[in-house]
């Protein structure tokens, strides 16, 4: 099934590798248009997971969103990308991001400038995919007559970013933006307008992740999504996203009193209404359409908890997708 408003599924790093193939097949069978994989260090590989999913399915788009700009040399990132893109024409999309700071610091790879390292990585990957030969010495990466044997110029390269300077860079160098799992419609609209003002919106993608839990037991669904929201808010801290919603000071205050546990118990319940998709299928249809109306080009549901994903796929595929 292909929708004019494509809806996909985001696979979290806590999903066991042995479940990737059957889950990918179920995602396609239930009518979703896209399937995206995190590369959450040190859980599951983004490229390996995408390869499994592409081989297990026939039509849906598969994306990696996102890999860190500094963990792999751009020549290796481009090689991984072109291999999948050439094996599955028109079905693979790459997302590159800064990487979660804590994980990048664990590998002693945190750059002096996240913007400069992102710029070098993304522009180099795109040049290599286009078939160029690069000889250059940058601040972070060096190239000596590096070229791909199998270029793939058609591949779109998106960036996973949050802050205003990173959004501006995304507009300048990328083919689209992967919106954080806590973005919400107002943030999507804010980022979209910023990008449109800088470069126009011609063929620019806004792939939007969003925490989701769908079902009749609204109290339980909100409890499920609340825990995940608290986890991500604590991991990210106050950002441009929380600024857009005017909740940065409150977020910082709650985190300082006890981190994710404090957020789970103390954050206002209405935050779930603008940061997540939660509730009955009817609620979720409205919420998904709100994302599209705000500028999203595809909405990618991050179902929580992960163990409920098989049942949620059937429910959403049956009661939500036909009405989007």
pLDDT, tens only, 247-278: 999 999 999 999 999 999 999 999 999 999 99
Q: What is the pLDDT of residue 3?
A: 57
**Count of residues making up the chain:** 324
Provide mean pLDDT across the span 78-92: 98
Determine the average pLDDT of the residues in 33-56.
96
What is the rounded average pLDDT for all residues in the chain?
Answer: 95
pLDDT-derived band at 321, boundaries 50, 70, 90: very high
pLDDT tens string 138-158? 999 999 999 999 999 999 999
**pLDDT higher than 80, residue 230:** yes
pLDDT at res. 200: 79
Token pair 């808010």 in the structure block, residue:
233
Residue 133's nearest CA partner among 121, 123, 118, 143 is: 143
- Give the pLDDT score at 101: 87
The CA-atom distances, in angstroms, between 177 and each of 24, 159, 297, 306 are 23, 5, 10, 24
**Cis status of the peptide bond prior to 66, with omega within 30 of 0:** yes
For residues 132-159, b (16+ Cβ closer than 10 Å) or e, as one string? eebeeebebbebeebebeebbeebbbbb
d(CA 210, CA 152): 29
Q: So what's the pLDDT on residue 1?
A: 43
CATH number corresponding to 7-218+275-323: 3.20.20.30
Phi, psi (degrees; rounded to nearest 5) at 47? -70, -45
Backbone phi, psi, residue 93, to 5°: -130, 140
Reported in sequence order, the residue ranges of the chain that DSSP labels E, i.e. its strands, are: 7-11, 34-37, 61-68, 92-97, 134-137, 142-146, 157-160, 176-179, 205-214, 277-279, 298-303
3-class DSSP assignment, residue 296: coil
Average pLDDT over residues 111-132: 98
Helix (H, G, I), strand (E, B) or coil at 234: helix
**pLDDT tens across 162-217, in order?**
999 999 999 999 999 999 999 999 999 999 999 999 997 678 999 999 999 999 89
| 81 pLDDT higher than 70 | yes
Domain boundaries, the chain: 7-218+275-323
Distance (Å, whole) CA 256 – CA 240: 18
Q: Is the pLDDT assigned to residue 223 strictly greater than 90?
A: yes
């Amino acid at each position: 099934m292909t929708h004019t408003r494509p809806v996909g599924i985001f696979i979290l790093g806590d999903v066991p590798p042995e479940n990737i193939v059957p889950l990918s097949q179920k995602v396609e069978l239930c009518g979703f248009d896209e399937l995206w994989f995190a590369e959450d260090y040190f859980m599951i590989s983004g490229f390996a997971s995408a390869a499994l999913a592409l081989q297990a399915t026939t039509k849906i788009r598969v994306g990696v969103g996102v890999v860190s700009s500094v963990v792999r040399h751009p020549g290796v990132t481009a090689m991984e990308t072109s291999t999948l893109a050439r094996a599955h024409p028109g079905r693979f999309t790459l997302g590159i991001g800064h990487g979660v700071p804590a994980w990048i610091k664990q590998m002693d790879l945190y750059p002096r400038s996240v913007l400069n390292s992102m710029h070098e990585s993304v522009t180099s990957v795109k040049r290599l995919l286009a078939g160029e030969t690069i000889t250059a010495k940058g601040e972070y990466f060096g190239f000596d007559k590096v070229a791909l044997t199998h270029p793939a110029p058609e591949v779109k390269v998106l960036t996973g970013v949050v802050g205003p300077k990173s959004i501006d860079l995304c507009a300048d160098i990328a083919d689209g933006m992967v919106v954080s799992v806590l973005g919400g419609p107002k943030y999507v609209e804010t980022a979209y307008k910023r990008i449109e003002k800088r470069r126009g919106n011609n063929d620019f993608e806004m792939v939007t992740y969003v925490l989701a839990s769908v079902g009749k037991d609204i109290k339980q669904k909100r409890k499920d999504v609340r825990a995940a929201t608290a986890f991500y808010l604590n991991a990210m801290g106050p950002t441009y996203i929380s600024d857009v919603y005017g909740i940065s000071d409150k977020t910082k205050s709650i985190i300082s009193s006890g981190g994710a546990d404090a957020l789970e118990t103390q954050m206002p319940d209405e935050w779930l209404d603008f940061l997540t998709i939660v509730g009955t299928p009817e609620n979720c249809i409205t919420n998904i359409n709100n994302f599209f109306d705000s500028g999203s080009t595809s909405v990618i549901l991050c179902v929580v908890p992960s163990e409920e994903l098989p049942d949620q796929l059937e429910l959403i595929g049956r009661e939500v997708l036909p009405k989007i």
